[in-house]
Amino acid sequence: MQFYLENGPRRVNRTPLQGERQHLPSQSTTSASSRHKRSRVDFGVQAGVFRRTRFRLWHLISSSFRKPSLLMGISFDVTEQKQQEEIRRESEKRFRLVADSAPVLIWMSGADKLCTFFNLGWLKFTGRTLEQELGNGWASGVHPDDLERCMAVYTASFDARVGFEMEYRLRHYDGEYHWVIDHGVPRFECDGTFCGYIGSCIDITERKLSEDFLHSLGGRLIHAQEEERARIARELHDDFSQRLALLGIGLGQLLKTLPKSDVEKRAHVLEMLKGTKELSSDLHALSRQLHSSRLDHVGLVSALGGLCREISGKHKIEVQFIECNLPLEIPNDVALCLFRIAQEALNNVVKHSRAKSTHVELGGNASGVSLCISDDGRGFDTARSNPCAGIGIIAMHERIRLVGGRLSVRSVLMQGTEILAEVPLNASTNAAAARTQASGAWSIGMLALPGR
Ligand SMILES: Nc1ncnc2c1ncn2[C@@H]1O[C@H](COP(=O)(O)OP(=O)(O)OP(=O)(O)O)[C@@H](O)[C@H]1O
Ligand SMILES: [Mg+2]
């Protein structure tokens, strides 16, 4: 910085040098001068002059407006500042070029949560102008059913300054809603100052449609499988079991007619009678496994208790069943889903775990029900895909999804496995509503928002 001082009542007007811009005293300064003149108090007039790399500020000090007595000049070297501005302008130009040619929808917001930038991809997608989207304008394009969730994720992440990922429906220029996945990350200056977010969205409508199709197919297959299981279980119980029972009665009557002295024949008939009873009991077990009529008639608690006893007795594993705080009313689809999960998890314990003991816990409250099956067996690596694995766990996930619940599988090698299934009690209705909504017409609305 340099200072200049000039004395005397000389004229201080100077023609700006080439490349200089002159900042003349403003209107308010002049009127201030008049006021000063009237009151005969000393005052100053300022003028700034820019050169390419220099900013010079002139300050005229005088005892009255017409008689300047001193001219003071201050000169600042602004070369570095100008170079920085040039670099910033260049980098912004490059960013816009990249952002506008990227095949994604890009947005940026400031530290106040309001949006300050949308790339060409976004504007082409929504068919709206930049001015319409800026600030909170973009929110009018978000599906009304997704907006509250979207805002909650955005606000919470923003306040915590952490990245986020969310899926929502955004109105396309043709009026249809498309699913997008939005990744947002916080932006910071070099000195660590938070300056907002930058986000990119990808249209995932095709993927969502395929997922929905697969889910509905999965659901239909499970329903078809259940119906077929029930049919076979009925056949086994009502037809084959009855015929076996008649065979057993016939063999018993035959045994009675044989004289005690005919030891060989009696032993043979007794052997057949024993085989018939075993076959009948196996058929019963298979029938119960395929479709638990106990579940239909006496409910989930009794059916699960029976299953645990059966597995424990048959495979010589300790299976402890605990039930507490269970809500009175458990919808049939939820009960069947939990029963099937327990069945598959216990089969896995028998087949894979080498566990000594297993716990089955059924609990809940008014808002939901949970089922936990844990064993102390050898466990497995849940992160590694096993090419020999079947579809038991996949089917558990699919079943729980159909009733709007969630499933978690935790396993630690040599320590055991825990399968936890949780179902909110209004979830089956919710899931049905969600499915209808995903395929039906949506209403359009707008909300006033505090920020993105
Ligand atoms: N309780 C458990 N203890 C140890 N390993 C387990 C347990 N449960 C599952 N696993 C492992 O997870 C794999 C996947 O189980 P999943 O039930 O999906 O298929 P599967 O039992 O192999 O075949 P399927 O159920 O179709 O007859 C199993 O092959 C096994 O390696
Ligand atoms: Mg299995």
Which CATH number covers residue 446? 3.30.565.10
| Mean pLDDT along residues 117-130 | 97
Provide the b/e sequence for 83-108 (b: ≥16 CB within 10 Å): eeeeeeeeeeeeeeeebeeeebbbbb
375 close to ligand 1 (CB < 6 Angstrom): yes
- What would the mean pLDDT of 405-434 be, rounded to a whole number? 82
Q: Are residues 281 and 306 in the same domain?
A: no
Cα(227) to centroid(ligand 1), Å: 25
Give strand pairing partners of 142: 170
Instruction: Verify whether ligand 1 is closer than 6 Å to residue 343 (CB atom).
Output: no
* Predicted confidence band of residue 344 (pLDDT cuts 50, 70, 90): very high
Please report the atom of ligand 1 found closest to the CA of residue 353. Answer: 3
Q: Does 132 reside within a domain?
A: yes
Task: Determine if ligand 1 sits within 6 Å of the CB of residue 366.
Answer: no
Q: Are residues 164 and 304 in the same domain?
A: no
Among 45-59, 86-100, 115-129, 192-206, the range scoring the smallest mean pLDDT is 45-59
State whether 21 and 104 are in the same domain: no
Q: Is 348 in the pocket of ligand 1 (CB under 6 A)?
A: yes
Decide whether any atom of ligand 1 lies within 6 Å of the 352 Cβ.
yes
My answer on whether 410 and 427 are in the same domain is yes
Measured by CA distance, the residue closest to atom 8 of ligand 1 is 348
Chain-centroid distance, C-alpha 215: 17
pLDDT tens string 17-37? 444 444 444 444 444 444 444
In a domain, 406, yes or no: yes
Which pLDDT belongs to residue 79? 83
Question: Which of 203, 238, 270 is a domain's end point?
Answer: 203
Are residue 136 and residue 250 in the same domain, yes or no?
A: no
Residue numbers of the domain that contains 48:
2-77
* Cβ-proximal residues to 185 (8 Å cutoff; 6+ apart), any chain: 163, 197, 198, 199
Single residue among 203, 218, 245 that ends a domain in this structure: 203
CA of residue 348 to ligand 1 center, whole Å:
5
Residues 315 and 450 in one domain: yes
Find the range with the poorest average confidence among 3-17, 56-70, 155-169, 409-423.
3-17
Which of 36-45, 305-314, 319-328, 336-345 has the weakest average pLDDT?
A: 36-45
Nearest alpha carbon, ligand 1 atom 20: 390
- Residue 185 DSSP code: E
pLDDT in tens, 264-323: 999 999 999 999 999 999 998 899 889 888 888 889 999 999 999 999 998 989 999 999
Residue in 347, 352, 391, 414 to alter for ligand 1 test, most ligand atoms within 8 A of Cβ: 352
Does 432 score more than 80 pLDDT? no
- Indicate if 27 and 137 belong to the same structural domain: no
Out of 246, 275, 291, pick the residue that ends a domain: 291
Q: How far is the CA of 375 from the centre of ligand 1 (A)?
A: 13
DSSP secondary structure letters along 395-436? HHHHHHHHTT-EEEEEEETTTEEEEEEEEETTHHHHHHHHHH
Return the residue whose CA atom lies nearest to atom 3 of ligand 1: 353
385 in ligand 1 pocket by Cβ < 6 Å? no
Lowest-pLDDT choice from 264-273, 365-374, 419-428: 419-428
Ligand 1 centre distance from Cα of residue 349 (Å): 8
Q: How many domains are contained in the chain?
A: 4
Indicate whether 154 belongs to any domain. Answer: yes
